Amino acid sequence: MAKKSPEQIKAESRGLRGSIAQELTNSDRFFTDEADKLLKFHGIYQQEDRDARKADRTQDHHSMMIRTKLPGGRLTPAQYIAHDEVASKYANGTLRITTRECFQFHGVLKGELRQTMREINEALVTSLGACGDIVRNVMACPAPTADPHRQAVQDYALRLSDALFPKTNAYHQIWLDGQPLIDDSEIDEPLYGRTYLPRKFKIGIAYAGDNCVDVYTHDIGLVALFAEDGALEGFNLLVGGGMGMTHNNDATYARLGDEIGFITPDQVLPVVAAIVTIHRDFGDRENRKHARLKYVLAERGADWFREELAARVGYAVAPLRPMPPFRVDDHLGWHEQGDGRWFLGLHVESGRIIDRGTYRLRSGIRAIVERFQLPVRLTAQQNILLTDIVADDRAALEALLDEYGIRRVENISAMRRAGLACVALPTCGLAITEAERVFPQVISEFEDALEEIGLGDADIAARMTGCPNGCARPYVAEIAFVGRSLDKYTVFLGGNPAGTRLAKPFIDLVPLAQLVPTLRPVLQSYRDDRDPGESFGDFVMRVGLDTLREQVPAEWRTLGAYGD
Could you list the active site residues?
67, 136, 200, 202, 422, 428, 467, 471
Give the residues across from 386 on adjacent strands: 344, 376
Q: Residue type for 51, please?
A: D
Cβ neighbours of residue 373 closer than 8 Å, sequence gap 6 or more: 77
- Maximal C-alpha separation, the chain: 70
With left for phi above 0 and alpha for psi between -120 and 50, is residue 179 left, alpha or beta? beta
* Torsion angles phi and psi, residue 115, rounded to 5: -65, -35
Spell out a b/e string for 136-168, using b for 16 or more CB atoms within 10 Å of the CB, else e: bbbbbbbbbbeeeebeebbbbbeebbebbebeb
Dihedral angle, C-alpha 270, 271, 275, 281, nearest 10 ° = 50
Order of all β-strands in the sheet with 258-263: 139-140, 203-207, 220-226, 232-239, 258-263
What are the backbone angles phi and psi of residue 201, rounded to the nearest 5°? -140, 125
Measured at the alpha carbon of residue 40, what is the angle toward residues 47 and 9, in degrees to the nearest 5? 110
Residue 407, number of CB atoms within 10 A of its CB: 14
Cβ atoms of residues 474 and 484 within 8 Å = no
Q: What is the DSSP letter of 210?
A: B
**Helices and strands in the chain: count of H runs, count of E runs:** 18, 22
Non-local CB neighbours of 59 within 8 Å, separated by 6+ positions: 52
Q: Is the C-alpha dihedral spanning 27, 28, 32, 36 positive or negative?
A: positive
Residue 462: name the closest of 482, 483, 448, 488 by CA.
Answer: 482
CA 316-319-320 angle, to 5 degrees, is 130
Spatial separation of the C-alpha atoms in residues 479 and 464, rounded to whole Å: 9
Which of 433, 450, 504, 449 is CA-nearest to residue 474? 504
